[in-house]
Chains A and B, each alone.
Chain A
Amino acid sequence: MNLTLKIWRQENPQAKGRFEKYDVKDISSDASFLEMLDILNEQLIHEGGDPVAFDHDCREGICGACSLYINGRPHGPDTGITVCQMHMRNFRDGSTITIEPWRAKAFPVIKDLMVDRFAFDKIIQAGGYISVNAGSAPDANVIPIPKENAETAMDAAACIGCGACVAACKNASAMLFVSARVSQFAVLPQGKIEAAKRAKSMVAAMDEMGFGNCTNTYACEAECPKNISVSHIARMNREFFIAKVTDSAKK
């Protein structure tokens, strides 16, 4: 396959940035998208240029590092997978591919296609955990958990925190990410204890980091590589409401 790439190049967070055009030739349709970028980078290094910086780690679709906005869609044209798992056969020979970094105030560009997703870490720090006393691990089956709840929690916990939901959202809202984190604990007995505090702290952190609001456009759900459902957003809306109501009741 021969392709024309339009890639966002930006020296550093302060630089202005611009689109650069590159041609790549003889790419196998079985190559992954990131392998195609590797080939481009080798080409650039041979020519004495600066390789394109992009995030990647496991290349197995589980680490959440890769973050490319391709032809108007996070993680490219295929659904339910990360960009590292997407193959070049999703594109036509001779086509032009526009590659941009995630765009959000909360995700500043570090270099080229790499963005800083520290905002997600801040949200997790705010309440994406359960507090347990250290000591020997408790028996796994001491607390009975209905299978449906375990499944729901597991579906939510599938979130890899890549930020595609923010990238896809017209408002750069992090609701799907935050709600998945709230949900994965909220439906389990271990997570219920701190549920109210968690919902409030994580929503506050989300607002503070500069993410937008939810318009229920559901682009997040459509683009999530782990197919996280917007029903988790509704659950978070409920959790937050209950937290607020019970909080004022306590006062």
Chain B
Amino acid sequence: MKTIEAFFEEIGRFFEMLWGVLVWTPRRPWDWRQLLYQMVRVGVNSLPVILLTAMFTGMVMALQTTATLMRFGAERYVGSLVSLSLVRELAAVLGGLIIAGRSGSAMGAELGSMRVTEQIDALEVMATNPIHYLVVPRVWATVVMLPLLVVVSDAIGIWGGYLVAVLLMGTNPVAYLETTFQYTEVSDVTSGLIKAAFFGLFLAVIGCQQGFYTSGGAQGVGRSTTRAVVIASIVILISDFFLTKILF
């Protein structure tokens, strides 16, 4: 009974936070500096780990699919398989999970420690809405940056797959690129980007929400940080199914 109650409370808080973000976004003053700062933190600083993940994902995809497709003599399709899987699915989901672990956790920890040290109260006292000041820039920074990271991931992953398929497995380089561009539609790319934007929204709102409602000192901050990552990861995986269903 307690768990069910807590579950619905959590969902309620999520939508409350989301609503708060939507309501406060158009209000002035717009804090461009803070938005830019958060975009650098979420986007630019995550670039190395995102690139590494994408590259190795593309490489291992090529390794697996080339071996399989060779059995049917269909190895010229490796390129399209790697790129479709990456563009439609893997880049967005893996990117979302990594940013949840990197930035979502940071949001939970930062806002959590601001809560327990009364900094959030102090903001309110100084006529500053903490959702406007803290949450809005973090959420939009993530919504904008995650799709951009996914674009880069797509390219790097395809390139990694090419390296393995051509150099390691000895397939035809022209066929790899040909099938890649022949079978990957623009709509495949955009569907991945739309998903990424949603994942960014979910993970940032969840991270901020966990931090915002922290109680219980240092231990509470730790709990919020863990929950920010765990809940965001689960939500990304579950919503991925439904978003894919909706976006075809």
| Bound together | no
Which A residues are within 8 Å of any B CB, using their own CB? none
